[in-house]
Amino acid sequence: MATDPNLIDSVSAAASAGTLMLRDREGGLSTTVDFPPALSAGPAGVDGAELGVDYIRLMHACRRRWAPATLLGLLLSVLLAVPVWIFYPRSYEAVSWLRVRDKGGMLSRGRDSSELEAYKKTNLSLMKSSNVLQAALRRPGIESLPTLREAGADQVGWISRKLQVVAPQDSEVVQVKLRGKNPDDVAKIINAVITSFLDDVVNKERTERLARRDSLEKKFKENQAELRTRRETLNSLARTLGTRDSQEVATQRSLLMEHLGGVRFDLNVANREIAVIDAELEMAEARDSGELDPDDLISEEMLEAALARDPQIRELSDRLLSLEEAISFQEQRSVRRAGEPAVRRLRSQADEMRRALERWKRQLRPAIVSELMLDQVGRRVESPAVLRKRRELLCVKLESLSKEFDQLSKEVTDLGRANADLDNRKNELAHLEQITNAIGMELESSAIDLNMPNRVTLIEQAGVPQVSDTVFQLLITLISGMGGFALGSGLIVLVEYLRNLVYAPDDLPRRIGLRVLGTFPLLSKLRKRPDYGAVTAECGDTIRTVISQSGRDVPKVILVTSAVEHEGKTTFATQLAASLARTGNRTLLIDGDLRHPHAHLPLELELRAGFPELLRGEMGNDEAVQPTSIDGLFAVTGGSCDYAAITALSKADLGEIIGRYRGSFDHVVIDAGPVLAFADALLLGQKCDGVILTTMLDMSSVPLVSKAVDRLQSVGIRLLGSVVNGGTTAAPSRRYASPLPV
């Protein structure tokens, strides 16, 4: 039965979408197999969206594509370097040399690096200023140069951009460069700029220093004349005071102030005595005229004080005080307070004591008044005439003291002012002397500086350059070529890097967590070796041993598949079946790749009726089996595939077919189609004990392998591991190189 291509494509598309639906042409039978879509990341270790750069992977990308990368890089390098060499404008560079002297070195004071750097930066900035450049353009023949005419209207800006000033640090030598197409023009322009700079900046600075020197000299002379005048004034004031020492003047003023204080005290005493005499005279006149009664001379306070000195009154007052204290004590102790009988009795005694005290005061009062009057009369011993004479003498003394006080006050004030004036004049004189000395030192330094040559001098004018910048042009060309080579080769390597291929056997465990059972060499390269058969057999036996030691039940029916085509699954399936047969076990190899059967080619068998016919029920299990040239190895070839055979994969008959072979043979190896292309491998894998996924170095894509693993695991298929095809097989060491004995 022929296969319908359109139907096969539809089956493939459905498998890729995650659902496989098989039905016969009449639509009578339909089978659906669902499985989840492949994940972008596999098991542990998967980095589907890798962050950063995998440098090992990048190195292997370079290894795989070094030849095309080199060719494309060389092509782009030539395509970029040749136009740059041809069209890069040739230019000439004129150089002029200047020297900027250190100021400290000129004055033998040592080098001042910070001052030198600041001076260089200032002057080099002024060299590119618009004033200097415009002055250079005004020089004869400069503005009409062809190079400047090509610059257009902004000639000053063109010179400012092209002019380069190189001033190495801690060096007095300065380079001034200008690059252009015309060698004569660049030399003239740079010499004009240097000349304008020397004239308008350096020589102008010397002129300014001369003007400053003249100004300092004039100010120095004025200060000297002012110093002479102030010294004469100070000497005159010192002669007036009798000394130039302000401390001594202050001492004199202190003595005068003490004398002035004594005179002030005498004035106060005289004024008080005159006031007392005037009061006594007025009282005498009042008594003589009868205006003042003698009793009025005695105050109530004087009378009370005299009575208080009487012993009887003092005794009565003490007893009254004792009674009042007793009353207060009893009131505090008694609850009834003032109603207590003892308190009332004490209060009665106190009232009686007060009445007795008042009676005794009234009896003593006349006698006390008479005694006080006698004291007042006895005090007046001077007559009014004597008092008036005393007052006259005191007035004369007071007038003399007042004149002396005024004179001393004026002397103290004048002496204080003179002392302050003396201090101020001395301070002003010292300050003026300090300023004059500083001006003198600056004037001396300026005179020395003017005698020295200019700090900026021309060492060498720019000459007409005879050689263009070929070296620079060659450098630019080399850089362009290297850039083109890097771009071309990098593009190829980047594309290869993004393909994300398997580059080493340990790449799969590290990135997607897939176990590697072993490696198998590339037969196209291995056939050139004399030990071709031994190497392939050894590799197959190694992988077979690893499978037999898987830990669980040893798989009897093994499916060999791959993610996509051309990954060496058929070759490995044949070698695995041969290795199992060499152990003395009856082994059957089934070509389950219905669409592209190739298992018969390595075994040198004819492609006759086989597995498709067996699925369609056209022949029995024993009829489909063919013997091979290897003892114990039998094969079921691909036969002729059609839609009915593909549909039969989803029927229960598939399990019965494989079950009968399981009972007839010790091991069954099935070579299935790619996992990601069709659902055949998934259907066959569910009837097997385990699946081996083959990959090819430098050809298998890691994301596709991860996707195939996800699909197998999603339908519950036991994945034994992976076999990496295309691995290198090292030559045996000397100890194991000799052949084994027969």
- Work out the percent of the chain whose per-residue pLDDT is above 70: 80
Mean pLDDT for the stretch of residues 538-554: 80
Mean pLDDT for the stretch of residues 274-287: 73
Residue 47 pLDDT > 60:
no
In sequence order, what DSSP letters do the residues of 680-696 get, joined into one string? HHHHHHTTSSEEEEEEE
User: Do 467 and 94 form a contact (C-beta atoms < 8 A)?
Assistant: no
Task: Report pLDDT digits (tens) over 179-218.
Answer: 888 888 888 888 899 888 888 888 877 777 788 888 888 8
Query: Which one is predicted more confidently, 75 or 47?
Result: 75
Query: Which one is predicted more confidently, 468 or 327?
Result: 327
Alpha carbon of 331 to those of 324, 344, 346: distances in Å?
11, 10, 11
Query: Which one is predicted more confidently, 528 or 226?
Result: 226
Q: Poorest-confidence range of 7-16, 133-142, 352-361?
A: 7-16
Residue 173 pLDDT > 90:
no
Mean pLDDT for the stretch of residues 10-29: 36
Of 261, 265, 285, 266, residue with least CA distance to 394: 266
- Which residue type is seen at 164? Q
Q: Alpha helices of 452-567 — where are they, by DSSP H? A: 470-499, 507-512, 523-526, 532-548
Residue 360 pLDDT > 70:
yes
Task: Report pLDDT digits (tens) over 605-630.
Answer: 888 888 999 988 888 888 889 999 99
The helix (run of H) or strand (run of E) holding residue 80 is helix 66-87
d(CA 128, CA 280): 105
Mean pLDDT for the stretch of residues 714-736: 74
* pLDDT for residue 81: 86
* pLDDT for residue 340: 77
Mean pLDDT for the stretch of residues 462-472: 70
* pLDDT for residue 591: 92
Alpha carbon of 309 to those of 266, 303, 323, 340, 392: distances in Å?
39, 10, 21, 36, 41
Of 101, 105, 107, residue with least CA distance to 451: 107
Mean pLDDT for the stretch of residues 101-123: 71
Mean pLDDT for the stretch of residues 330-346: 74
Copy the structure tokens of residue 366. Answer: 């006349």
Of 394, 388, 389, 382, residue with least CA distance to 271: 394
Residue 92 pLDDT > 70:
yes
First to last CA, the chain: 51
Residue 74 pLDDT > 60:
yes
* pLDDT for residue 376: 53
**DSSP 3-state helix, strand, coil percentages of the chain (rounded to 5)?**
60, 10, 30
Residue 525 pLDDT > 90:
no
- Domain boundary assignment for the chain: 8-46+513-736, 55-88+471-498
Mean pLDDT for the stretch of residues 156-169: 86
The helix (run of H) or strand (run of E) holding residue 22 is strand 19-23
**Where do we find the tokens 């006259």?**
392
Task: Report pLDDT digits (tens) over 426-439.
Answer: 888 888 888 888 88
Q: Poorest-confidence range of 26-40, 407-421, 631-645?
A: 26-40
Residue 282 pLDDT > 70:
yes
Buried b (16+ CB within 10 A) or exposed e, 618-644: beebeebbbebebebbbbbbbbbbbbb
- Position 564 confidence tier, pLDDT thresholds 50, 70, 90: very high
- Position 685 confidence tier, pLDDT thresholds 50, 70, 90: very high
Residue 715 pLDDT > 70:
yes
Copy the structure tokens of residue 742. Answer: 């027969």
The helix (run of H) or strand (run of E) holding residue 442 is helix 384-451
* pLDDT for residue 32: 37
Maximal C-alpha separation, the chain: 185
Copy the structure tokens of residue 372. Answer: 């006080």
Identify which of 209-223, 236-250, 379-393 has the greatest average pLDDT: 209-223
User: Do 454 and 203 form a contact (C-beta atoms < 8 A)?
Assistant: yes
**3.40.50.300, 3.30.450.70, 3.30.70.260, 3.40.50.1980: CATH of 8-46+513-736:** 3.40.50.300
* pLDDT for residue 257: 81
**What's the whole-number average pLDDT of the chain?**
79
Q: Poorest-confidence range of 87-101, 465-479, 481-495, 688-702?
A: 465-479
* Phi-psi sector, 378: left (phi>0), alpha (psi -120 to 50), beta: alpha
Mean pLDDT for the stretch of residues 589-596: 91
* pLDDT for residue 531: 63
Sign of the C-alpha dihedral, residues 303, 309, 312, 318? positive
With 0-12 / 13-18 / 19 or more C-beta atoms within 10 angstroms meaning exposed / middle / buried, residue 16 is middle
* pLDDT for residue 11: 33
Query: Which one is predicted more confidently, 16 or 55?
Result: 55
Mean pLDDT for the stretch of residues 248-255: 76
The total of other beta-carbon atoms located within 10 Å of residue 563's CB is 29
Residue 106 pLDDT > 60:
no
Query: Which one is predicted more confidently, 321 or 501?
Result: 501
Query: Which one is predicted more confidently, 342 or 173?
Result: 173
d(CA 417, CA 670): 130
Residue 688 pLDDT > 70:
yes
- Strands (E) in 80-224, as ranges, are 92-100, 164-166, 173-180
SS3 assignment, position 560: strand
- Position 71 confidence tier, pLDDT thresholds 50, 70, 90: very high
Query: Which one is predicted more confidently, 649 or 531?
Result: 649
